[in-house]
Amino acid sequence: MSDSESDSTTTTAENRFEPATPNVGEKFDPVALHDDTDDFDLRPESDSCYKCSTCDTNCPVAEVDDDFPGPKFQGPEQWRLKEQSDDEDHEIDDSITECSNCMRCDSACPSGVSLSQMHNTARGEYVDDQMSKRSLKYWRNRILANYRTSARIASTLPRLANAAMNFGPARWVMEKTLGVTSEREFPAFATETFREWWQARGGAAASKERAQARRRERGEPVDADKKVAYFHGCYANYNTPEVGQAMVRVYEHFGYEIVVPKQGCSGTPMFANGMLDDARRHADITVSSMSDLIEEGYDAIASCTSCSMALRQEYPELFDIDGIETVASNTFEAVEYLRIHEPLRETVQSADIDGELADEFAYHAPCHARSQGLDRQAVELFGDLDGVGIDDVGDSCSGISGTYGWKEEKYETSMEIGDDMFDHMESAEGDTGLTECPTCAMQMEHGTGYEVRHPLELLEAALVD
Ligand code: SF4
Ligand code: SF4
């Protein structure tokens, strides 16, 4: 067996994941709730650090880039330096822009220091105070961070946008002028967005009817309190509506009525680029609609693990918005929620798959799934599903981290970080990938040429007629 094979984990009776006590929100209580002003009090975070360097040894960027000082410096050390400096103009070190915001350091810290909160705060300050607003890098980062805006425009003429975005000379110009790598293929925009599909299908009213009909079939009370508000994020809306559609069909299969509220971007690419004002504007929209729905008895679910992470953890760490704690403690990843509230594993065990998705899958757990304790969920769930095989390709980072791997100067680092995952995918059975994160899926596809699917698509194929 090769090294890569030995690191890859195939599901067997011996190593089967037994889910931990389901997370029902407690884990994601805000670390500290701050005014979103310049006066974050991060002293408790800094004081909790006892300099063990565990965060540094778990940082995928530090592992491949000797010049990157690592999370301990970016977080507690830099904060202390700034606090202790007599110089009011003490500057944030430029290397804060090298952190990809994968958040692996957060999970690694034995002392519970919220490193990503410190990094996001420092990065926001760096962009506000030290980055030239006239530089191409600022505008490149701003465009990448505001993917939702570009996607909305491109989706008005998706076929033209798809052709133009991947036209060789245009890609070359984008790399030379803006610094967006020409090595990657732009993801295709769907000809019908998820929201367009949802409206054409009849929206929340039609979902309620379908859910009630399904409850009757299942012998449940027709007025059962099974209601979720779907945060689809930008990617499932503009690029992979099939993931959102799968979520809708799977949830209705279990008798849930769904609403799709007004929402902004989760802010994930904005945090990673220090654009906290942009992220705040989007968070205002989402928190306002989601908190109202939660008060009415809905829970919030997301199909992207970075989106659920943002709503659960980053929002309350960075912003002070009415209802933000309610949203944080009532948001769940879509499969996790079903695992908590339905006999999902038993249902999947008694199902089977044939057709296109009867396949062997190489599963990659995104870093942000790992941070929510969801890294073995898909393997545990699909391990006993007739018609599919699933290999966990290990615990390495995919390396793309949202917009990070799209930057020309970060592309090589991103691919170097992803090397372990590519090797493990290639040594796993089958040649189809599986993951919850759309940008990890891009990296998996880019590094191996594999098609990549979402666990919700597998659930749909297994459970829905
Ligand atoms: S892992 Fe936590 S305690 Fe250890 S150096 Fe990093 S921040 Fe400090
Ligand atoms: S968020 Fe990821 S890249 Fe950034 S310092 Fe932490 S481990 Fe390293």
The β-bridge partners of 453 are 434
CB neighbours of 181 closer than 8 A, spacing ≥ 6?
Answer: 175, 405, 406, 407, 408, 411
Q: For residue 116, how far is its CA from the centre of ligand 2 (angstroms)? A: 8
Nearest residue (by CA) to ligand 1, atom 7, is 49
Best CA proximity match to 459, nearest among 425, 430, 442, 434:
434
pLDDT for 23 equals: 40
* Of 124, 123, 111, 106, nearest in space to 28 by CA: 106
Kindly state if the Cβ of 61 falls inside 6 Å of ligand 1. Answer: no
> What is the SS3 assignment for 407?
strand
Helix, strand and coil in the chain, % to nearest 5: 55, 10, 35
Neighbours of 357 (CB within 10 A): 18
Q: Which amino acid is at 358?
A: A
How many angstroms is it from 180 CA to the middle of ligand 2? 21
Q: Is the CB of 71 under 6 A from ligand 2?
A: yes
- Average confidence (pLDDT) per 10 residues, the chain, 465 residues: 35 35 40 41 75 96 96 89 74 93 94 92 94 96 96 96 92 94 96 98 98 97 97 98 98 98 97 97 98 97 98 96 96 97 96 92 96 94 94 96 96 98 95 97 98 98 94
Sheet containing 451-453: give its strands across: 9-10, 389-392, 360-363, 432-434, 451-453
Residue 406 near residue 369, CB atoms below 8 Å = no
Q: What is the pLDDT of residue 27?
A: 42
Half-sphere exposure of 194 (CA within 13 A, CB side): 25
Query: Which residue, by CA, sits nearest to atom 4 of ligand 2?
Result: 99
Distance 444 CA to ligand 2 centre (A): 20
CA-to-CA distance for 60 and 307, rounded, in angstroms? 21
Closest ligand relative to 46 C-alpha: 1
> How close are the terminal C-alpha atoms of the chain, in Å?
40
| pLDDT of 89 | 73
Strands (E), 9-134: 9-10
Looking at 222-275, list the stretches that DSSP marks H as alpha helix, in order from N- to C-terminal side. 233-238, 241-253, 268-272
Confidence (pLDDT) at 12: 34
Residue with the smallest CA separation from ligand 2 atom 6 is 105
pLDDT at 34: 36
Q: 229: which strand partners?
A: 259, 300
Distance (Å, whole) CA 321 – CA 36: 9
Q: Whose CA is nearest to atom 3 of ligand 1?
A: 49
**pLDDT value at residue 157:** 97
